[in-house]
Amino acid sequence: MEEEKPEDKPVSQKEEKVRGVLAEAKEERQLMEKARDEAKAEREKLELLKAERTISGETDAGQKPEEKKEETPAEYKDRIMSGNLEKKE
C-alpha cells in the first residue's frame, strides 16, 4: 500500500491558512533575495566602472556642477502666456 504523506491528509481551515501564509512568506523571501542579488550585482558593476575611471585617469575632481540658469520675469511671462506650463531645466 501507498504510504500517506502529511500533505495528502485532510487539513483544517486553520492549517490551510497557515500553509498559505507560509507559502506567501517563502515567495516574498525569494523576491527579496532576488532583489538583493540584483542590487549586489549593480553595486559591483558600479565599483568596477569607478575603478576603471580611476585607473584611466578620469576623476570628478575639479569639475563644477552645471549652474542652472534662472528664468527672468520676462521669460516667465512669455512661457506662461504661450501656454507652456512646464519649466525648462
Which is higher by pLDDT, 32 or 4? 32
Average pLDDT of the segment spanning 7-35? 89
Specify if 82 maps to a domain: no
pTM of the predicted protein model = 0.47
Report how far residue 42's alpha carbon sits from residue 48's, in angstroms, rounded to the nearest whole number. Answer: 10
Give residue 84's pLDDT: 79
Average pLDDT of the segment spanning 5-19? 78
pLDDT tens digits, residue range 55-66? 887 766 767 777
Average pLDDT of the segment spanning 19-29? 95
Specify if 36 maps to a domain: yes
Using the 8-state DSSP alphabet, how is residue 89 labeled? -
Number of structural domains found in the chain? 1
Specify if 41 maps to a domain: yes
Specify if 68 maps to a domain: no
Domain of residue 35, residue span: 12-58
Which is higher by pLDDT, 22 or 1? 22
* Contacts of 37 by beta carbon, 8 Å cutoff, 6+ apart: none
